[in-house]
Amino acid sequence: MARIALVTGGSRGIGAAISKALKDAGCSVAATYAGNDEKAAAFTKETGIKTYKWDVADHAACKDGIAQVESDLGPVDILVNNAGITRDAPFHKMTPEQWNEVIGTNLTGVFNMTHNVWAGMRERKFGRIVTISSINGQKGQFAQANYSAAKAGDIGFTKSLAQEGARAGITVNVVAPGYINTEMMSTIPEKVMNEVILPQIPVGRLGEAEEIARCVAFLASDEAGFITGSTLSANGGQYMQ
Ligand code: NDP
């Protein structure tokens, strides 16, 4: 698949696995990140995939960043909205800053990125948009009102855009991971992991980033043109809709 792919937060964690899977599938890949220059440089050294730094919560920065990627690689065919953050707190302690940061990156960021590739995809009559939501956007999660709202919002956004993009050859889908073995998980205390989280997962383990990357590569492929507006859950059986 000789397509141009742009992966937000594509330099580490799940995003790095997605960037690599799309490269292995034959795409020219650009990976963005927010500020971790060291990780991004190490990723480029390891993979040869060029990285770009901007904040997905900033619409103008997305516009400029995408223009740079398109001048380097060509028009973006595949957008993977993967960048995400958590700022967990029970609601009675949640600050407006925690709310706004998470909505800004995880929901508005998806709007900002998609908004800036949409016209080009419509003109060229081809596009693949895949957004990484979360099991916690499907079922809710204690202390994650901000995160769950944003991730549920990504699913509603996707279903609407899927209808708008269908006749223009653009598919819009979501992958909703369960607990995946990345740095985001390292903030969870070991006791909580062993006594609370793992017992909830029927397959008995965390998922691997590569397992999410394979879902994305499939939805991003030319062959997945009849799948749009879908949410592909990859959660080890933890939550079934
Ligand atoms: P990581 O924390 O490992 O990586 C996040 C990536 O997003 C980094 O590259 C980071 O850049 C980038 N990023 C964060 N904020 C911004 C921003 N404002 N602008 C641009 N880039 C940004 O996350 P994971 O790999 O664990 O998660 C990836 C996605 O999967 C997220 O959307 C997350 O919500 C979702 N998810 C993760 C699960 C898990 O178990 N890990 C479960 C379900 C969903 P930098 O390196 O510069 O910080």
Helices 13-24 and 209-220 sit at what angle, rounded to 10 degrees? Answer: 50
Closest-CA residue to 124 (of 169, 162, 64, 81): 169
The DSSP line for 92-124 is: GG--HHHHHHHHIIIIIHHHHHHHHHHHHHHHH
Out of 6, 8, 12, 55, give the residue to mutate to test ligand 1, the one with the largest number of ligand atoms within 8 Å of its CB: 12
State the DSSP code for 46. Answer: H
Please enumerate in sequence order all residues whose Cβ is within 8 A of that of 155, keeping only pairs 6 or more positions apart, or say none: 133, 137, 138, 174, 176, 231
Catalytic (active site) residue 147: yes
What does each of the 241 residues of the chain score in pLDDT, given as a tens digit? 799 999 999 999 999 999 999 999 999 999 999 999 999 999 999 999 999 999 999 999 999 999 999 999 999 999 999 999 999 999 999 999 999 999 999 999 999 999 999 999 999 999 999 999 999 999 999 999 999 999 999 999 999 999 999 999 999 999 999 999 998 788 889 999 999 999 999 999 999 999 999 999 999 999 999 999 999 999 999 999 8
CATH superfamily name and code, 4-234: NAD(P)-binding Rossmann-like Domain (3.40.50.720)
Per the document, the length of the chain is: 241
CA 219 – CA 231 distance, rounded (Å):
10
Categorise residue 31: left if φ over 0, alpha if ψ from -120 to 50, beta otherwise. Answer: beta
Structure tokens at 79: 């957008």
Return the ligand 1 atom nearest residue 136 CA. Answer: 43
Residue 34 contacts residue 53 (beta carbons within 8 Å)? yes
Name which residue sits closest to atom 9 of ligand 1, judged by CA. 9
ipTM: 0.99
193 Cβ inside 6 Å of ligand 1? no
